[in-house]
């Protein structure tokens, strides 16, 4: 049994968190670490989640020092362990990686499963990152064996090789993100990262043409690296007439992503580009291709961290962050916001009777139907097995100034309810139509709750009331109901 820390141990650290600790799997250390105010504690279910949590601090006040503690029960194989730790190092070269149990390579340290709080903190603080820094290099997926280049005489940095298979490449990863609302960006990358950036030329002149820090920061902030990369290329070549053109028919040096041409590096001085500058432009196009691939991968990882892989809905992490941010914005803008919580009546029956494939089909089709009736600014989230949440919120207010937002929300909810009931689910055979129903509750800010916690509690209670009243019902909170009933 773990020792219980004394009062001195619990208060020996400052109130301001000094460590961000990510626990991977069931480590048994949660309760002890929660008692220390110097720890910002995060739990990850597996190594993939841990990488995502390390790359995405909660906010600007999150501690700079980070440690990842892996439970023995979830420990990957030797090869996968090395890749896991190298991936963590790419995000934070100083991260401490420890295991619960005895020390083994390549971990930086270990924590005894029976250790008290003080011993746990000491183990984290004494651990030192081992191994060298790693460099990231992309190669295209080869159809046949690709000869390796001879090793350089100087000692090269160890590399992580990412095989890129972007056969259907279109450079839309950043375009779609930059078109999103500021609220959406704030949820995905943090409020501090969406300030107006310094111009590319200013960043290059202040940092130098070979300093990639500004490009990393731009990528993490969800901005495209193309403009900054082209400025760097011009600075390196001592020119001002090189540009990136997203047109494979343009005359220039191709920027290859997988087997596709993302665009071309074009120089206005064609004689220089085809002559003395040909080799230099080739090198710069290869350098730019690596950044474009990394930008795509970063966008994919960002979306994966906040998306439910089965249904394509936003996941619980996104729901929590978006709701908190939307309520703050709603309070400032004096715009109403409504949360609908619902689940599928008798879902276990369908899952057991027709199999998990049928259950998956129900979940996927439910999200499709929801997306067909909501407004562009609303958010559909899967927050549990068959439990969903919709955040109805128009940041800029309704397009029709005469409309009643809560009235329209109720109409959307009832329309969705009818669609679910009448929809044909092929895998449900004879029960395909008319038997599947949903029950939920709608709670509106500020009438039914003053913050996300009270709003969700009210919506959950209303959903339970719908169940008690015979299911296939949508119950409104008192505030929303009074507005919806007072129709003009």
Burial 416-429 (b: 16+ CB within 10 A, else e): bbebbeebebebbe
Quote the tokens at residue 404. 């009643």
The closest of 35, 147, 24 to 95, measured between CA atoms, is: 24
- The proportion of the chain whose per-residue pLDDT surpasses 70, expressed as a percent, equals 74
What digits encode the pLDDT tens for the residues 253-311?
999 888 888 889 999 999 999 999 999 999 999 999 988 888 888 888 888 889 999 99
Residues 6+ apart with CB under 8 A from 488: 404
What digits encode the pLDDT tens for the residues 185-198?
777 776 544 454 55
**The pLDDT of residue 308:** 92
**The pLDDT of residue 272:** 93
**The pLDDT of residue 233:** 93
CA-derived radius of gyration, the chain: 27
Q: Are 255 and 285 in contact (CB under 8 A)?
A: yes
Q: Are 345 and 439 in contact (CB under 8 A)?
A: yes
Q: What's the rounded Cα separation, in Å, for the pair 214 and 224?
A: 12
What digits encode the pLDDT tens for the residues 24-83?
988 989 888 888 878 888 888 888 878 878 877 766 677 888 999 999 888 888 878 888
Question: Cis link prior to 106 (omega < 30° from 0)?
Answer: yes
Query: Chain-centre distance of CA 331, in angstroms?
Result: 26
Residue 105 pLDDT > 70: yes
Q: What is the pTM of this model?
A: 0.57
Q: What's the rounded Cα separation, in Å, for the pair 147 and 104?
A: 35
Nearest 5°: the CA angle 203, 204, 207 is 80
Phi, psi of 354 (to 5 degrees): -115, -5
Q: Are 41 and 21 in contact (CB under 8 A)?
A: yes
Q: Are 307 and 360 in contact (CB under 8 A)?
A: no
Look at strands 66-70 and 19-24 and give their pairing.
parallel
Q: Which of 160-164, 200-204, 448-452 has the lowest mean pLDDT?
A: 160-164
3-state secondary structure 35-99: CCCCEEEEEECCHHHHHHHHHCCCCCCCCCCEEEEECHHHCCCHHHHHHHHHHHHHHCCCCEEEE
Q: Are 184 and 314 in contact (CB under 8 A)?
A: no
Quote the tokens at residue 43. 């739990």
Residue 252 pLDDT > 60: yes
- DSSP-derived letter for residue 322 is H
Structural domains of the chain, with CATH: 7-126 (3.40.50.2300), 138-143+156-306 (no CATH), 316-485 (3.30.70.270)
């Amino acid at each position: 049994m773990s020792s219980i820390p004394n009062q001195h141990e619990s208060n020996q650290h400052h109130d301001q968190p000094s460590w961000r600790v990510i626990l991977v799997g069931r480590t048994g250390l949660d309760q002890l670490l929660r008692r220390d105010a110097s720890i910002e504690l995060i739990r990850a279910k597996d190594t993939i989640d841990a990488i995502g949590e390390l790359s995405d601090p909660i906010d600007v006040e999150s501690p700079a020092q980070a440690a990842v503690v892996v439970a023995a029960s979830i420990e990957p194989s030797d090869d996968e362990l090395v890749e896991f730790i190298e991936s963590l190092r790419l995000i934070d070269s100083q991260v401490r990686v420890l295991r619960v149990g005895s020390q083994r390579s390549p971990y930086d340290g270990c924590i005894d499963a029976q250790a008290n709080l003080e011993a746990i903190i000491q183990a984290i603080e004494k651990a030192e990152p081992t191994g060298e820094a790693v460099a990231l290099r992309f190669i295209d997926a080869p159809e046949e064996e690709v000869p390796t280049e001879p090793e350089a005489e100087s000692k090269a940095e160890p590399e992580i090789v990412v095989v890129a298979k972007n056969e259907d490449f279109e450079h839309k990863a950043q375009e779609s993100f930059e078109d999103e609302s500021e609220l959406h960006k704030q949820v995905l990358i943090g409020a501090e990262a969406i300030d107006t950036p310094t111009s590319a030329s200013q960043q290059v002149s202040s940092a130098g043409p070979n300093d990639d820090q500004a490009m990393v920061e731009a990528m993490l902030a969800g901005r495209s690296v193309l403009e900054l990369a082209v400025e760097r290329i011009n600075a390196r070549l001592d020119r001002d007439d090189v540009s990136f053109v997203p047109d494979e028919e343009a005359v220039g040096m191709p920027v290859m992503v997988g087997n596709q041409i993302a665009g071309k590096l074009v120089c206005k001085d064609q004689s220089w580009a085809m002559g003395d500058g040909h080799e230099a432009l080739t090198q710069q196009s290869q350098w730019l291709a690596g950044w474009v691939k990394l930008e795509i991968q970063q966008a994919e990882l960002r979306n994966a961290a906040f998306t439910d892989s089965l249904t394509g809905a936003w996941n619980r992490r996104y729901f929590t962050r978006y709701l908190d941010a939307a309520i703050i914005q709603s309070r400032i803008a004096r715009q109403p916001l409504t949360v609908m919580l619902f689940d599928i009546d008798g879902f276990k029956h369908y899952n057991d009777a027709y199999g998990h494939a049928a259950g998956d089909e129900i979940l996927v089709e439910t999200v499709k139907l929801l997306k067909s009736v909501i407004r562009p600014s609303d958010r559909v989230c899967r927050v549990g097995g068959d439990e969903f949440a919709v955040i109805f919120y128009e940041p800029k207010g309704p397009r029709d100034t005469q409309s009643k937002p809560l009235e329209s929300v109720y109409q959307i909810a009832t329309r969705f309810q009818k669609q679910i009931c009448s929809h044909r689910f092929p895998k449900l055979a004879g029960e395909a139509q008319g038997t599947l129903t949903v029950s939920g509750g709608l709670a509106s800010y500020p009438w039914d709750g003053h913050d996300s916690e009270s709003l969700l509690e009210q919506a959950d209670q209303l959903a339970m009331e719908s169940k008690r009243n015979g299911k296939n019902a949508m119950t409104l909170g008192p505030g929303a109901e009074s507005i919806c009933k007072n129709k003009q």
